[in-house]
């Protein structure tokens, strides 16, 4: 099982390298995505209820709790369906009155339909033991990698990729001897060749091949607000 925060590149890598791997969407990120749309202080009762459901996601740790959460969410969708359908017409176009709440609902409904919200519960039932529902444990490592790149932000792209290789190699549980690391770590030409090969197969339109993961999504860092 692989726990993902929703990055498309990670899911594609898993399907290519480990086809049998099942995906668990990080429940913390799933709840945070809802909060970005509802805010932490929703003005509407519909939004307050949805925020409460999202906050209870972290407590659904077994099959019974997961079933109860899904029932609560389904009940919320049914009760507020008509409310979320309200719209106005502007220049002949339909504009939904509560578009942000609709986006919050869409984010959860997509995960429910895909079955990625409670994969960790199913794995526990099938294989026993405890399975993680979040990837927060690795975020501290990722933060240190980002800090390293920030401190060396003048590096060319190829050298930034190699710097990440070295950082990971030097912090593995059982690091190889320096001479062995030098033998196996990709060279500049090898990294450049991989990048060129990936680029020739097409990218996302932002100059980075799909195999290199998702680019920056500013919505992950900023709440959309209107300028005064």
Between residues 79 and 155, which one has the greater pLDDT?
79
> Is residue 93 scored above 80 in pLDDT?
yes
pLDDT, residue 38, reads 94
Cα distance between residue 144 and residue 44, in whole Å: 39
Phi first, then psi: give them for residue 227, nearest 5 degrees: -75, 145
Q: What is the pLDDT of residue 210?
A: 52
Structural domain spans, the chain: 2-127, 136-220
Residue 114: partners with Cβ closer than 8 Å, 6 or more residues away: 25
Q: Is the pLDDT of residue 50 over 90?
A: yes
Residue 15: how many other CB atoms lie within 10 Å: 13
The region that residue 19 occupies, defined by phi over 0 for left and psi between -120 and 50 for alpha, beta otherwise, is alpha
Half-sphere exposure of 15 (CA within 13 A, CB side): 6
Indicate the pTM of the whole model. Answer: 0.67
Residue predicted with more confidence, 65 or 160: 65
Q: Quick check: 217 pLDDT over 70?
A: no
Write out pLDDT tens, residues 141-194: 888 898 999 999 888 888 888 888 888 888 888 888 888 888 887 888 888 887
Tell me: pLDDT of 117 over 90.
yes
Q: Please tell me the distance from the alpha carbon of residue 165 to that of residue 157, in angstroms, as a whole number.
A: 13
Euclidean distance between CA atoms 84 and 94, whole angstroms: 13
CB 58 within 8 A of CB 31: yes
Q: What secondary structure does DSSP assign to 59-107, as a single string?
A: G--SHHHHHHHHHHHHHHHHHTHHHHT-EEEETTEEEETTHHHHHHHHH
pLDDT of residue 52: 96
Mean pLDDT of the residues in the chain: 85
- C-alpha angle with apex 8: 203 to 170, nearest 5 degrees? 90
Give the orientation angle of helix 119-127 with respect to helix 63-79, to 10 degrees: 150
Q: Name which of 57-66, 70-79, 101-110, 201-210 the model is least confident about.
A: 201-210
Q: Which of 182 and 101 is assigned the larger pLDDT?
A: 101
């Amino acid at each position: 099982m692989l726990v993902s925060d929703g990055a498309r590149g990670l899911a594609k890598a898993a399907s290519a390298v480990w086809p049998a791997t099942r995906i668990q969407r990080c429940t913390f990120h799933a709840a945070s995505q809802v909060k970005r749309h509802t805010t932490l202080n929703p003005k509407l009762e519909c939004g307050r209820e949805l925020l409460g459901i999202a906050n209870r996601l972290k407590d659904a740790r077994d099959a019974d709790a997961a079933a109860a959460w899904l029932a609560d969410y389904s009940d919320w969708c049914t009760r507020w369906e008509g409310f979320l359908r309200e719209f106005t017409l502007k220049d002949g176009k339909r504009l939904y009155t509560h578009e942000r709440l609709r986006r919050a609902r869409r984010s959860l409904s997509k995960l429910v339909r895909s079955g990625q919200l409670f994969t960790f519960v199913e794995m526990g039932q099938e294989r026993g033991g405890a399975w993680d529902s979040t990837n927060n444990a690795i975020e501290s490592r990722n933060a240190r990698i980002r800090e390293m790149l920030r401190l060396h932000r003048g590096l060319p792209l190829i050298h930034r990729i190699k710097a990440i290789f070295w950082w990971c190699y030097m912090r593995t549980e059982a690091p190889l001897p320096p001479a062995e690391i030098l033998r196996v770590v990709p060279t500049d030409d090898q990294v450049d060749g991989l990048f060129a090969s990936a680029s020739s197969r097409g990218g996302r339109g932002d100059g980075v091949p799909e195999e290199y993961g998702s680019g920056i999504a500013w919505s992950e860092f900023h709440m959309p607000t209107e300028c005064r």
